[in-house]
């Protein structure tokens, strides 16, 4: 039995009654847990006293499978980590292999990669807006607005690579194939649609008094806490720390591109939402620049690669800014055609590990919102 | 006859844009600071400083690990305030744990590797210094069989709670058929 420093007004005086803590199981099959995530909440009335997250329901042994597959065969596994942004995962994996093997990527392929990675980021953020609105009780409406843009982006992926969610479009050294002829026109149309979608969400959620009242000042996180817990991505930028791996430790062609790093003020749930809104807009700016500046023709795959890729012995820790945070790959090769060790640093895994600290002391309904604001993808958490 | 003239501006650059831009390589300034500071603060500790393709690598034995990491975090000139990743590696010589630290103040990135002796997989836990280590250490413990001394709750995270296997060890098989109850003679379930 925990005694809370009660800040509520009009507290009920229970007098001679004894109160007991209750244990509630949330998930693993519950729409508000965003997949197969389970947490056991101990509650005192409506207050969360303790929370114990349980993960691993989607554990597929990604790292063991990668150690046992050829470098190009493993591509398909890595798509399935962050399945809302498959291209970002492919990018990180390919760049790690390229770093180890010293493979150069043609410029046109780099531009196309950045376009695809940023489209994935927009897609993932729109999915977040929709699901987050659903967590707050607007099931249906916000979800459908999110899915509208998502389907347009997935249609684009399907035209480019032949698959929606798991395109397997990247290869160590470049891309599987060049863009279709009408891509630029289609992509600009999708971008205008994305900006319209952002405005719609702005009107639907940001301007909604109920939404703002429920999110503002909920579970504020300081910069010191965020660093200590290992939060990355929009979670740490919401606290006001201007740290984005695309700028701090740049990779690919990001140093040549102009974009802002949006930050929040106090790291509460509302800031996390707003940072993602601003990021989706910046991603659309990046894509426009790439469409303007990219070489109009040229190779998209390094032509000097052998049929069987043997990567010289070495070790690297390649950092990329995934959609949820720092998506990094710790790769070790021993000179054979298979990775000796390939460790995924999953951003959602690290963000989720701080959930317990964030929800303790809040109401049960708010705990669901805080979980939603972390924007977890269980494929990435469970590997 | 060869043309000695430099290439015209219209032609594409000799090396791709991205190769020129990549900054994810070992930071020589960090390496120098690290050598100076550790030689001053820990003169009797055996450590090696090397490099991977992306980071400066500090290698130390498990018994000096906690003291070294405290220095890395506390000293102003290093200030490694974030534990961003942890990964176990099953080398033939023995189990190794690699830690990746990041310093927001200096934008430094550092890898620290700790190699365990073959018969002893104990490593001091970092949960007192970095809260981020809580889940990372649980994952490494279940996947490789490390024992992190001082961790408050070292039970399985991704695997089932009662499963006592270490799947990422090289000796562990990739797949094994399940023995079905009532059909085969042996004990039902997986026999790893």
Total number of domains constituting chain B:
1
Q: Is the predicted pLDDT of residue B7 greater than 60, yes or no?
A: no
Residue B28 within a domain = yes
Which CATH number covers residue B102?
A: 3.30.460.80
**Does B27 lie at the interface with A, CB-CB under 8 angstroms?**
no
**For each of chain A's 383 residues, which pLDDT tens digit applies?**
455 555 545 455 556 667 778 898 887 887 777 778 888 999 888 888 889 999 988 898 899 999 988 898 888 888 888 888 889 999 999 999 988 888 888 888 999 999 999 999 999 999 899 888 888 877 678 888 888 888 999 999 999 988 888 888 998 888 998 899 889 999 999 999 999 999 988 888 888 888 888 888 888 899 999 999 999 999 999 999 999 998 888 888 888 888 999 999 888 999 999 999 999 999 999 999 999 988 888 888 888 888 888 889 999 999 999 899 999 999 999 988 889 999 999 999 999 999 998 998 888 888 888 988 988 888 889 88
Nearest by CB: A252 against B18, B81, B168: B18
> Angle at which helices A86-101 and A107-135 pack, to 10 degrees?
140
The pLDDT assigned to B9 comes to 47
Residue B4 within a domain = no
Nearest by CB: B104 against A65, A68, A243: A243
**Does A185 lie at the interface with B, CB-CB under 8 angstroms?**
no
DSSP 8-state code for residue A178:
P
Is the Cβ pair A228, B135 closer than 8 Å? no
Residue B138 within a domain = no
The pLDDT assigned to B15 comes to 59
Closest residue in A to B136 (Cα) is A350
Nearest by CB: B53 against A100, A295, A298: A100
Lowest mean pLDDT, pick from A187-196, A240-249, B16-25, B38-47? B16-25
Strand stretches in chain A, DSSP E: 22-26, 38-44, 47-54, 170-171, 174-175, 314-321, 326-333, 339-345
Chain B contact set for A232 (CB, 8 A): 84
Total number of residues shown for chain A: 383
More confident: B163 or A288: A288
Q: Is the predicted pLDDT of residue B29 greater than 80, yes or no?
A: yes
Is the Cβ pair B84, A230 closer than 8 Å? yes
Distance from the B16 Cα atom to the nearest Cα atom in chain A, whole angstroms: 6
**Does A228 lie at the interface with B, CB-CB under 8 angstroms?**
yes
* C-beta atoms surrounding A14 within 10 Å: 9
> Angle at which helices A183-201 and A269-293 pack, to 10 degrees?
160
- HSE-up of residue A282 (Cα within 13 Å, Cβ side): 17
State the ipTM, two decimals.
0.85
Is the Cβ pair A256, B109 closer than 8 Å? no
The pLDDT assigned to B2 comes to 46
Residue B149 within a domain = no
**Does A65 lie at the interface with B, CB-CB under 8 angstroms?**
yes
In three-state secondary structure terms, A43 is: strand
Chain A contact set for B95 (CB, 8 A): none
Distance from the B54 Cα atom to the nearest Cα atom in chain A, whole angstroms: 5
Residue B55 within a domain = yes
**Does A291 lie at the interface with B, CB-CB under 8 angstroms?**
no
More confident: B91 or B178: B91
Chain B contact set for A63 (CB, 8 A): 143, 168
> Burial of A184 by CB count in 10 Å (0-12 exposed, 13-18 middle, 19+ buried)?
middle
Structural domain including B80 reads 24-124
Cα separation of A62 and A42, whole Å? 33
Q: How many helices (DSSP H) and strands (DSSP E) are in chain A?
A: 15, 8
Q: Is the predicted pLDDT of residue B10 greater than 80, yes or no?
A: no
**Does B96 lie at the interface with A, CB-CB under 8 angstroms?**
no
Q: Is the predicted pLDDT of residue B153 greater than 50, yes or no?
A: yes
Chain B contact set for A353 (CB, 8 A): 132, 134-135
Q: Is the predicted pLDDT of residue B12 greater than 60, yes or no?
A: no
User: Phi/psi of residue B83, each to 5°?
Assistant: -95, 110
Find all residues with CB under 8 Å of A152, minimum gap 6, and list them. Answer: A190, A193, A194
Give me the domains of chain A, ranges plus CATH numbers.
62-382 (1.10.645.10)
Distances (CA, A) of B16 to A107, A169, B21, B141: 6, 20, 9, 42
The pLDDT assigned to A237 comes to 92
User: Taking a C-beta distance cutoff of 8 angstroms, is the pair A273, A130 a contact?
Assistant: no
DSSP 8-state code for residue A204:
I
Residue B1 within a domain = no
Chain B contact set for A263 (CB, 8 A): none
Is the Cβ pair B104, A227 closer than 8 Å? yes
Residue B136 within a domain = no
- Dihedral-angle region of residue A217 (phi above 0 means left; psi in -120 to 50 means alpha; beta otherwise): left
Nearest by CB: A345 against B17, B57, B84: B84
The pLDDT assigned to B183 comes to 65
More confident: A192 or B161: A192
Is the Cβ pair B100, A317 closer than 8 Å? yes
Residue B50 within a domain = yes
The pLDDT assigned to A307 comes to 84
């Amino acid at each position: 039995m925990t005694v809370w420093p009660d800040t509520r007004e009009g507290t009920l005086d229970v007098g001679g009654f004894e109160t007991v803590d209750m244990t509630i199981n949330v998930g693993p099959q519950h729409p508000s847990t965003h997949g197969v995530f389970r947490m056991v909440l101990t509650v005192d009335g409506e207050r969360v006293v303790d929370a114990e997250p349980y993960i691993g329901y989607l554990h597929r042994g990604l790292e063991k499978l990668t150690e046992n597959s050829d470098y190009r065969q493993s591509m398909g596994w890595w798509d399935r980590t962050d399945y809302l942004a498959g291209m970002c995962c492919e990018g990180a994996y390919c760049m790690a292999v390229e770093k180890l093997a010293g493979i150069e990527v043609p410029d046109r392929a780099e531009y196309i990669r950045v376009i695809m990675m940023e489209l994935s980021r927009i897609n993932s953020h729109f999915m977040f807006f929709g699901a987050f609105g659903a967590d707050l009780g607007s099931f249906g409406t916000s979800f459908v607005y999110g899915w509208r843009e998502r389907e347009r982006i997935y249609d684009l992926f399907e035209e480019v690579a032949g698959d929606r969610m798991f395109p397997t479009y990247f290869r160590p050294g470049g891309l599987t194939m060049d863009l279709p002829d009408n891509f630029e026109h289609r992509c600009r149309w999708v971008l205008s649609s994305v900006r319209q979608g952002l405005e719609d969400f702005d009107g639907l959620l940001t301007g909604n008094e109920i939404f703002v009242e429920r999110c503002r000042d909920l579970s504020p996180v300081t910069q010191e806490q965020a660093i200590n817990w290992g939060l990355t991505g929009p979670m740490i930028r919401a606290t006001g720390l201007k740290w984005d791996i695309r700028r701090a430790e740049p990779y690919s062609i990001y140093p040549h591109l102009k974009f802002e790093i949006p930050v929040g003020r106090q790291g509460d749930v509302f800031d996390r939402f707003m940072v993602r809104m601003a990021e989706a807009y910046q991603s659309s700016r990046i894509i426009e620049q790439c469409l303007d500046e990219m070489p109009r023709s040229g190779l998209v795959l390094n032509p000097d690669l052998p049929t069987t890729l043997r990567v010289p012995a070495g070790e690297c820790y390649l950092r990329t800014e995934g959609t949820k945070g720092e998506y990094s790959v710790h790769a070790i090769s021993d000179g054979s055609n298979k990775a000796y060790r390939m460790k995924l640093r999953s951003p959602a895994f690290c963000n989720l590990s701080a959930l317990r600290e964030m929800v303790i002391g809040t109401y049960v309904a708010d705990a669901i919102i805080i979980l939603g604001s972390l924007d977890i993808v269980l494929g990435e958490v469970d590997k | 006859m060869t043309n000695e003239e430099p290439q015209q501006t219209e032609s594409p650059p000799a090396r791709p844009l991205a190769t020129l831009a990549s900054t994810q390589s070992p930071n020589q300034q960090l390496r120098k600071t690290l050598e100076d500071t550790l030689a001053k603060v820990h003169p009797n500790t055996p450590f090696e400083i090397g490099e991977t393709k992306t980071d400066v690598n500090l290698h130390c034995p498990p018994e000096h690990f906690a003291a070294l990491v405290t220095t890395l975090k506390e000293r102003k000139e290093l200030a490694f305030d974030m534990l961003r990743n942890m990964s176990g590696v099953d080398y033939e010589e023995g189990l190794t744990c690699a830690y990746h630290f990041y310093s927001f103040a200096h934008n430094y990135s550092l890898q620290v590797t700790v190699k365990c002796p073959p018969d002893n997989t104990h490593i001091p836990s970092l949960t007192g210094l970095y809260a981020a280590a809580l889940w990372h250490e649980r994952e490494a413990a279940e996947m490789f069989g490390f024992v992190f001394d001082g961790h408050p709750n070292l039970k399985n995270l991704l695997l089932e709670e009662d499963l006592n296997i270490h799947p990422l060890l090289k000796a562990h098989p990739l797949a094994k058929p399940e023995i079905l109850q009532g059909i085969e003679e042996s004990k039902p379930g997986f026999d790893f």
